Amino acid sequence: MTDITIIGTGNMARGLATRAIAGGNNVQLLAHDDKAKADSLAAELGGSVTTGVVGDDVSGDIVIPAVYFDPAKEVVARYGSALDGKIYVDITNPVDTSTFEGLSVPEGSSAAEELQRATGAKVVKAFNTTFAGTLAAGDVAGQQLDILIAGDDEDAVRAVADFASAGGLRPIVVGPQRRAHQLEQAGFLHILLSANDNLPEFQWNSALKVVPAS
């Protein structure tokens, strides 16, 4: 059993919390400004869930801000040294929403690497290639979800992989933190497929799957 803090109360927070509870973990839900939102989601989820708002002490060993990249930077700045030594799971795809032609991080970098430069936490990239609804369900068309993971700290990566596995998902460690660049490109492509009206079968209910030869 692991203590997991999830920041946010939206769809991704719901999906991540559902997997955390399925794995038998304790969950702390922190709303951005309205604790009632966290209370409502906790009541919906059941399980061992405590609630609060951003600014409250973070109780989890694993911290997952279920937010976009810019708010994630604000979370890191707000908590500062309180995140030192914790495992920080970066789920973001830093899409340049002004053009939707690429990512908004420096070329050759990634959201995970940019966040790592700003925090003493152990940043692990994961869950950025999965959508909220599929996380809540735990599968797509009967297929177990693949969770692609990148990070430099072996123990942190293992902890995130164990969290995914306990929640009924299939963790795949793709390499060190710098591989987050490729994961974010893959996440961006998945978003583009789902936003394409000519591909209705992919609209926010699909998954990226790695299929072994045997």
61 vs 96, which has greater pLDDT?
Answer: 61
85: its two tokens: 């030594």
Superfamily grouping for domain 3-202: NAD(P)-binding Rossmann-like Domain (3.40.50.720)
Which pLDDT tens digit goes with each residue over 184-213? Answer: 999 999 998 888 888 887 778 899 999 888
- Tally of CB atoms within 10 A around 212: 4
Map out the domains of the chain as residue ranges.
3-202
**Tens digit of each residue's pLDDT (9 = 90 or more) over 87-111:** 999 999 998 887 778 888 898 899 9
Residue 179 has φ and ψ, to the nearest 5°, of -70, -10
The token pair at 102 is 């690429």
How far apart CA 41 and CA 16 sit, in angstroms, is 12
- Mind listing the pLDDT tens digit for each residue in 5-37? 999 999 999 999 999 999 999 999 999 989 999
